[in-house]
Structure 1
Amino acid sequence: MNQLRVLIVDDEPLLRRHLQALLAEVWPHASYSDAEDGIAALALLQAQSFDVVFSDIQMPGLDGLGLCKALRQLAKPPLLVFCTAYNQHAISAFELEAVDYLLKPLDEERLHHCVRRIEQRLQQQVSATASLLHLQQLLSQLPSALLATAPQQAALGQSNVQHNVQLAHTADSAAEKDPAGDSAAPLKWIKASLRDTVHLLDVDEVDFFLAEDKYTTVDCAGAQYLIRTPISQLEQHLDPQQFWRIHRGTIVRVKSILKVQRDEFGHMTLQLKTSPTELAVSRAYQALFRQH
C-alpha cells in the first residue's frame, strides 16, 4: 500500500494536533494534513486525494455532515470517520456510510479499534483493484477470435456457476441443520475471512453484524471478519430471540448488550460488553428496548 494520506478536520487547533499525535503512533509513516472547517477541507480534497478523513461535526460554515455528503460526489471518495463530543448525530453518520463515530475525549483503545476497521476497508479496496487489473490483463491477452465467442461461453459459464452455487448452498444448509433435521434451524457457524485466512466462527460468540459496502463485517471476540452475505439475507438465518435488527445495517446479539443509552433528543445507542463500538438504534427499532 502506498503512503497513507490522512486529513483531519476540526475547528479547534489543539484537537487537530492531539488527534494527529495519536494517529502518528499507529501510522508513523502517514502523510497528515488538516483543515479548520468543512469548506477548507473540501478545497483540499478537490485539489488532492486522501485515503481517510477524520472530521468533527459541529463546525462553522460547512459542518461535518455536509462535508460527508460532498465527499460522495468525488470520483474517489475517502473513508470518513466522525470525531465529535455529541452522540446525537450517530444515526445520521452511519446512514451516510461513515466508517466509524468516535466520541470526544478520544479513547486510545477505541481509536485503535477504529484504525483496524479502516485498515480492513483499505485492504478490501486494494484487493478489489488488483483483481480488476488482473482480469483486464487476462482479457487483453485473449485472441480476438476467442473474444468473439465470449457471450456464448459466458452464458454457459453462468449456468454452471448458478448450478455450483445451488449445490454449495444445499451442502451448507445440510451442514447447518440441527441433529433433529430441522431445515429451518438457525445458523450455528459462519465461515468468515480475516485478511487471507478463513475462520469458522461460533455464532453464539458474535457481538454484532454490520453492513459495509459489498461486505458484512462480523465482530467476534474483538476482531472484525468479513463475509459476502448481505445482512438482510443473513438475518433470515439467525435466531430472532438471540439476534436483533437495530438498524437497517446492524444486527446485534442480545447477550452482548451491556446497556442502552438515550439522549435528550431521543437518539438511542447501545454499549456492548466486549466491544468498544457503540451501536446506533434507529427509531424504527427502538420499541424492542421499550418492551424488554
Structure 2
Amino acid sequence: MNFDNKYVLILDDEPYSMKQSYKSITNFVTPEHVFCAKSALEAIKIMEGKKIDLAFIDIEMPDTNGFTVVEYIASNFINTKYVFLTGHTEFGAKSYDYEPLDFLIKPIDIIRLKKTFERFDKSLINEEVQDNLVAVDTGTGFILLSPTDICYIAKENRKILIQCDNQSYKVNSSLDELEIIFSDYGFIRTHQSFLVPLSRIESVEHSRFGNTYSAKLNSGQLIPVSRNRYGKLRYYLFSRGIKFI
C-alpha cells in the first residue's frame, strides 16, 4: 500500500483523541498530507481547498454530528471516502446506513486501522477497473465491457458489430464515433470497416499480389488492412516504441 499521493482529513473536536488518531494514521499516510479539523465548518473549508481522498469523521461533536457531516460530503465531495470514528459502539449499526468505508472505535487500534487502509486500497483498485469499462448501448439497455475483451469492431451493412471473445454486440454508433472513443484504449483503424486493438495483432502480411494486407489477430482471425492504412499502422507502431528490423 502506497498512499503518498493521497490526502486525509481527521475531524475530531477532542484534542487528545485527535492527536492519537493523527499518530496512528501517519503510519500509512505522509504527515504533510494529513489535515486536522476541530469542527464541521473547519473541515468543510479544508475540503473546499484541498482534494481529500479519505476523511475520518468523529460521530459526536458539539456543533453537529458525524452523520450530518458525511451527508454533506456525499453530496458535495463525491470522490471522498469516509470512516466513522467514535468511542461508543452503539453507533455502529446506524453508521452503516451512511455506507462508510469503515467504522473505528477510539482510540484507534493500529492493526484494525491497517485493515481500513487495505479496504481503502482495494476500493481504489476497483475504481481503476471501473474507469477502464465502456458502456455499450445494445438498444434494449447497455452492457459494460472492458476494451481488453474486444477482438475487433466491424461495420456490417448499416450496423456496427463489437466482437468479443465469446459474444458479439450490435450498436448504433458509427465507426467514426467509436474510433474517437477507443483510440484511448489502443485501437487503430486498419480499414474503413474495421477497428482493431493493437494488443490483439500478431502479424501483418500482404496478399499474394501485394495489393492488400491482412492483420492476423491472436484469435486467428484475419482482418483486412487497406493500403493507405498500412503505412499509418507502421507509423502508429513506430511512434509507440516498436522497432522494425
TM-score normalised to structure 1 length: 0.45
C-alpha contact 1:51 1:79 (8 A) present in aligned 2 = yes
TM-fit CA distance, 1:77: 3.1
2:8 alignment partner, SS class: strand
- Identity %, equivalent residues: 20
* Distance in 2 between residues matched to 1:46 and 1:137, nearest whole Å: 35
The answer to whether structure 1 residue 123 and structure 2 residue 130 are counterparts is no
C-alpha contact 1:80 1:99 (8 A) present in aligned 2 = yes
What residue number does 1:160 align with? 167
TM-fit CA distance, 1:79: 0.9
2:85 equivalent among 79, 83, 95 = 83
* Distance in 2 between residues matched to 1:153 and 1:41, nearest whole Å: 50
2:25 alignment partner, SS class: helix
TM-fit CA distance, 1:6: 0.2
Distance 1:42 1:75, change over 3 A: closer
Question: What's the CA shift string for 1:185-219, capped at 9, x where partnerless?
Answer: xxxxxxxxxxxxxxxxxxxxxxxxxxxxxxxxxxx
What residue number does 1:101 align with? 103
C-alpha contact 1:6 1:30 (8 A) present in aligned 2 = no
1:88 alignment partner, SS class: helix
C-alpha contact 1:3 1:30 (8 A) present in aligned 2 = no
What residue number does 1:74 align with? 76
- Aligned-residue CA RMSD (Å): 3.5
TM-fit CA distance, 1:89: 1.7
Which protein is bigger by CA-based radius of gyration?
2
1:25 alignment partner, SS class: coil
TM-fit CA distance, 1:33: 0.6
Q: Hey, which bits of structure 1, 4+ residues long, moved more than 6 A?
A: 135-138
1:81 alignment partner, SS class: strand
1:65 equivalent among 46, 64, 67 = 67
TM-fit CA distance, 1:7: 0.3
Structure 2 residue runs without a partner (length 5+): 135-144, 170-245
C-alpha contact 2:20 2:107 (8 A) present in aligned 1 = no
What residue number does 1:182 align with? none
Amino acid at match of 2:14: E
* Distance in 1 between residues matched to 2:14 and 2:98, nearest whole Å: 24
* Distance in 1 between residues matched to 2:160 and 2:94, nearest whole Å: 46
* Distance in 2 between residues matched to 1:124 and 1:23, nearest whole Å: 22
* Distance in 2 between residues matched to 1:37 and 1:69, nearest whole Å: 15
* Distance in 1 between residues matched to 2:92 and 2:109, nearest whole Å: 17
* Distance in 2 between residues matched to 1:101 and 1:148, nearest whole Å: 56
TM-fit CA distance, 1:123: 2.1
Matches within 5 A, 1:1-292: 3-28=5-30, 31-131=33-133, 152-153=160-161, 160=167
Distance 1:113 1:30, change over 3 A: farther
Distance 1:120 1:136, change over 3 A: closer
C-alpha contact 2:17 2:107 (8 A) present in aligned 1 = no
* Distance in 1 between residues matched to 2:22 and 2:147, nearest whole Å: 40
TM-fit CA distance, 1:108: 1.5
Amino acid at match of 1:113: K
TM-fit CA distance, 1:23: 1.3
* Distance in 1 between residues matched to 2:17 and 2:156, nearest whole Å: 57
